[in-house]
Structure 1
């Protein structure tokens, strides 16, 4: 079997509500060689930048209802597929994936595209990776919108998460579309669930999706725990605007919004919101609402920044 797999393009034909043009770059991995990463790049190239980062086991399809209103508001929207997901290449062995490697792959993505002045929206593993990016390259980020995610340092996780971790490792079946449906409040259509299944023609493509939950540091000596503790030292000094938008139906990340608000200085005084009816995959339950919140937050905080600079 090939070391790196590529999902055939015909798997992505006629996906519902996903008319976006594909874009690709090669991520140079010292062990695996060039890995092709897919991303969406919509809206005016000179518009203010919004980076939408997905998690496990979804892909950029998750943002299909958020991209159009953001573009209409004048934003440039970039939504990458993490390596192992969506239209990006998929290393075939579970041992090819690590937390640190995902961070390095995404740092390479930021550097190759030379992204700056970023408004980051992150959910699930989009936050575990995205917040590490912020800690590594804080000057690239203008503001953060954090939803249903966190940055664990090695403390025990919830019972719900541990059940999910066991299921991902040991269940004989791993139906991606059905998983997305179960962790959304609204009922996804058969076409939408099929779109989430599309990147994975067979079980051999699911190594990344299977191993991702096991990469979460659930004890202080787990890989990634020390790096996250170091990242928090930087995040505790991040004073650019930070907004939390957490769903009230997500049992996995409940309480992380309060941690973010208490720890990151830029979260002080922001109009944080709890999204009613928002389950873990909150983009499926409240995509347009999230987009409008991002638009208002980005424009409002930009105005505040300009006023402060003018007063100095």
Structure 2
């Protein structure tokens, strides 16, 4: 296995648990990650969403390690203790996917089970689409297949309304100021408004605020949306002039877990995926919100283990 560098820096966001904090140089960035499980066990890569960091998988990391997997949960580029390259172009889909493939290679593996939530889910979809050789099984939590999402935006005004925050995030500096005011109190408020009443403790919210308030972290996180929006504009322009769509199928067996009380993403996004995802299992959790692996941690862990071992 490639050499891992132990990160000795103590930080409030280093929540204690059955994991080690490490760093890896992947392409042009240094990524911080936590790892658990035996080094020779099958590799699982867990990708977090916005505005989180590796900590969003704190319940699943030990559960998957206990089930016999080598679990790696990175701070994605720009987040928490990972490097924060400057500029929107640094957060294009190709760069994000390259980080996942690079992590798999870092552990001297040809393939891994890749699981993503929210933005991590988008990156997981794209990794499976663009690098099918690197993904043995795919797990996605409350993140739509990119093509299904684009089509829903074209025809469904309600989904456009749900997604209107993405337009706000295109503005320079104002979203950073809103979310970052009062030591990132806006980040905690976002969690409170969209999660169940008992999903996140005050300690959890403090850790999310501390991670988001690291220098440059909010701009980096928002640049994911800015890069994605620009890429979508270019894709739509090509479509309108008759450019043929690339192959967007997912060849890996796929588990899609969906909290139905997601205020931003309608449950209809779990439907009509057969043309892109022929080997698909969908599990809807009626009482869960967007933060499904935190709302129902044991159920999500059990679903992943069962899926991996099928």
In the superposition, the TM-score normalised over structure 1's length comes to 0.78
CA distance in structure 1 between the aligned counterparts of 2:91 and 2:111, rounded to whole angstroms: 29
Partner of 2:178: 173
> How far is 1:202 from its partner?
5.2
Partner of 1:44: 38
C-alpha RMSD of matched pairs (Å): 3.0
Matched, 1:194 2:193: no
1:292 to 276, 297, 302: 302
Please state whether the residue corresponding to 1:40 is helix, strand or coil: strand
Match of 1:78 in 2: 72
Q: CA deviation at 1:117?
A: 4.1
Asked if 1:138 corresponds to 2:154, the answer is no
Q: Please, which moves more after superposition, 197-206 or 66-75?
A: 197-206
Instruction: Find the aligned partners of 2:101 and 2:301 in 1 and give their Cα distance.
Output: 25
Cα pair distance change 1:173/1:87, threshold 3 Å: same
Deviation at 1:93, TM superposition (A): 4.1
Deviation at 1:95?
5.2
SS at match of 1:100: helix
* 1:135-193, Cα deviation, whole Å (9 max, x unpaired): 22212222222221123344435312212541574333213233233332244222111
What is aligned with 1:215? 227
Relative to structure 1, the CA distance from residue 138 to residue 73 in structure 2 (aligned partners, 3 Å threshold; closer, same or farther) is same
Q: CA deviation at 1:253?
A: 2.6
Q: In the superposition, relative to structure 1, how do residues 117 and 220 fare at CA in structure 2: closer, same or farther (>3 Å)?
A: closer
What pairs with 1:30-179 in structure 2 (closer than 5 Å)? 35-94=29-88, 96-153=90-147, 154-155=150-151, 156=153, 158-166=160-168, 169=171, 170-171=174-175, 172-174=177-179, 175-179=186-190
Distance 1:48 1:225, change over 3 A: farther
Segment drifting more, 37-46 vs 213-222: 213-222
C-alpha contact (below 8 Å) 2:162/2:265 kept by paired residues: no
- Residue 273 of structure 1: CA displacement? 1.6
TM-score by length of 2: 0.79
How many Å separate the matches in 2 of 1:79 and 1:142? 17
Aligned counterpart, 2:242: none
- Structure 1 Cα separation of the partners of residues 208 and 288 of structure 2: 19
**Separation of aligned partners in 2, 1:78 and 1:287:** 17
Unaligned runs of 5+ in 2: 1-7, 154-158, 180-185, 240-244
2: CA distance, partners of 1:298 / 1:38: 25
CA distance 1:259–1:191, shift in 2 (3 Å): same
Distance 1:59 1:27 in 2: 17
CA gap 1:95/1:116 in 2 versus in 1, 3 angstroms: closer
Deviates more, 1:144-153 or 1:54-63: 144-153
